[in-house]
Amino acid sequence: MEQRTPTLRNVAWLWFGIAIAVLVVGFRQAIFLTPADAAQGDVGRIFYYHVPIAMLSLLFPYINFAASLTYLFWRSRDPLKALTADALALASAEVAVVYSSICLVTGMIWGRVAWNIWWTWDARLTSMLILWLLYVSYLMLRRFSSTGQSQTLAAVLGIFAAVDVPIVYMSIRWWRTQHPAPVFGGGANSGMDKSMLPGFFWNLAGWAIWGVLILLFRFALERRRQLAEQEAALHAIEASLETPQ
């Protein structure tokens, strides 16, 4: 344990450095090197942050889904393994809320200029808002439930919440929306100009590396909190046994 911790810390710092470096390159590509969009002008540069973060916001719910299933599987078989899965479920739900919040806010900021409105109740925006609400309610349930079963209830909610992810993804394919058509895999007219690709992929890589960093950091924090709680409980039991009768 004493040897593993410094190694993990060095890997974490290296990962942090790589994330910052890739994000700096991505920012430079998006703002300074890529030409302005022919139709939208400079406000089209919001695309380079909005789209990669929106795509990544649909991945973290699946980590929550897998961790929630794992928690339910181990809950009565091996509670210590279940606690680890629960920590990952919590971390992934929080990161999903962070990424989907940014997706919604940057989309609204762009929409006010492009559409002259902050919001419209079209299928993509509404399904994304529902996804955000589901994971906010997941976190609220964990924070405020006093049943003693909040981890189990949260795991069940996490499994149901993941159902919204394919609906968000398919919404611009199933329904005609005000939201722009799919950039990738949307038919003959989809795709982006070659000059936009470096800005897009550097930012996709940068926010993906950053997302993994904050997910693992939050997971490690939750594990540290769980272990401190266990230690405190153990001390309390020991203290109660030492109390003279």
Partner 1 sequence: MTWQSFFDTSTMAHRHLLAAYATVLVVQAGYFGWIAWNWFHTKERRY
CB 154 within 8 A of CB 89: yes
Q: Which stretch binds partner 1 (CB under 8 A): 57-65, 109-117, 148-156, 192-200?
A: 109-117
Nearest distance in Å: CB 163, partner 1: 26
Question: Which lies closer to partner 1 via its Cβ, residue 5 or residue 147?
Answer: 5
SS3 per residue for 175-219: CCCCCCCCCCCCCCCCCCCHHHHHHHHHHHHHHHHHHHHHHHHHH
Both tokens assigned to 111: 């929409």
Q: How far apart are CA 63 and CA 73, in angstroms?
A: 15
Binding track over 73-102 against partner 1, x by CB under 8 A: ---------------------x---x--xx
Provide φ and ψ at 19, rounded to 5°.
-60, -45
Identify whether the C-beta of residue 67 lies closer than 8 Å to the C-beta of residue 85. Answer: yes
Q: Residues 21, 225, 233, 236: which binds partner 1 (CB under 8 A)?
A: 225
Site string for partner 1, 111-150 (x = CB under 8 A): -xx-------------------------------------
Q: Is 45 in the site for partner 1 (CB under 8 A)?
A: yes
Which one of residues 4, 7, 32, 80 is an interface residue with partner 1 (CB under 8 A)?
32
Least Å distance between CB 174 and partner 1?
27
* Closer residue to partner 1, CB minimum distance, 32 or 121: 32
∠ CA 222-225-230, nearest 5°, is 125
Do residues 84 and 71 make contact, with C-beta atoms less than 8 angstroms apart? no
Binding piece for partner 1, criterion CB under 8 A, among 25-33, 69-77, 130-138, 190-198: 25-33
| Smallest gap from residue 97 Cβ to partner 1 (A) | 9
Tokens, residue 207: 């926010």
CB-nearer residue toward partner 1: 155 or 215? 215
> What residues between 49 and 68 interact with partner 1 by CB under 8 A?
49-50, 53
Q: How many residues bind partner 1 (CB under 8 A)?
A: 34
Q: What is the DSSP string of 149-163?
A: -HHHHHHHHHHHHTT
Using CA atoms of 79, 81, 85, 88 in order, give the dihedral in degrees to the nearest 10: 120
Tokens 């992810």, residue located? 165
Long-range contacts of 221-224 (CB under 8 A, 24+ apart): 222/87, 222/90, 222/91, 223/84, 223/87
Interacting residues toward partner 1 by CB under 8 A: 27, 31-32, 36, 41-43, 45-46, 49-50, 53, 94, 98, 101-102, 105-106, 109-110, 112-113, 210, 214, 217-218, 220-221, 224-225, 227-228, 230-231
